Amino acid sequence: MTLHLSGASLTHSNGVHALQSLDLHIGASEQVAIIGPSGAGKSSLLNLLATALRPSSGDLQVLGERAWQLSARQRQRLRARIGLVHQAPPLPPRQRVVTAVLAGKIGQWGLGKSLLNLMHPLDIPGARAALARLDLSDKLFAQCQQLSGGQLQRVGIARVLYQAPEVLLADEPVSAMDPVLAEHTLSVLWSPACMRWNWRWRTFRASSACATGRSCSTCRPARSTATCSTSSTPTSNCNFPRLLRPP
């Protein structure tokens, strides 16, 4: 299994129980949509899978590793294989878009190369190509503070596309976009031209979120897993043929 949760619970520091006794299994190459209203635990689940949050109890395995039994350095290497698209990308306002996109590789680069990239972008053609797929290549050298909310979300997506992770997690990735732009952006994110997906179906149900998955085989890396959360049923229907809701 690429992603595995067994009896996992998450309680925030304020005492709120975000997830309780969650069992979840997502295999290599699966694409999964998690839908539900605000407060259902979708973001908490994705941050748990990204190892940004530690489960309060239960077992978490990502790409065959028990993340919280690893050393800090080993866990950092594991995180470099995971891409997370944030609903509100954490982009410094004065950072240029090209630098924001190239930051997708920081976890794979050494410290020296990462610092050099901050002073001089090391792969301008690569950043431009990722942005061009999202119709943002003209913003390559713009500052993030000059962009709209929807454009910032697309920059966050371009960063993860440039990263080319083995696990792709997306938290409400098109919430700031109009329906037409959202559909186009999702078609790029899940594009067969990028992922070369061949579809088959598997369905599972979790205690605090429900999801439907479809499997794929990818060009790079050879097998990749994608998970997306959304509260928009119409948008999801266009990209996932079967959806389950939280009870």
Q: Kindly state the percentage of the chain with pLDDT values over 70.
A: 77
Q: Residue 155: what pLDDT?
A: 98
pLDDT surpassing 90 at residue 88: yes
Q: Mean per-residue pLDDT for 206-219?
A: 30
Fold of 1-81+196-247: Rossmann fold (3.40.50)
Burial bucket for residue 169 (CB in 10 Å: 0-12, 13-18, 19+): buried
For the chain, what are the domain ranges?
Answer: 1-81+196-247, 84-164
pLDDT at 93 over 80: yes
The most confident of the ranges 57-61, 171-175, 199-203 is 57-61
Q: pLDDT class for 195, splitting at 50, 70, 90?
A: very low
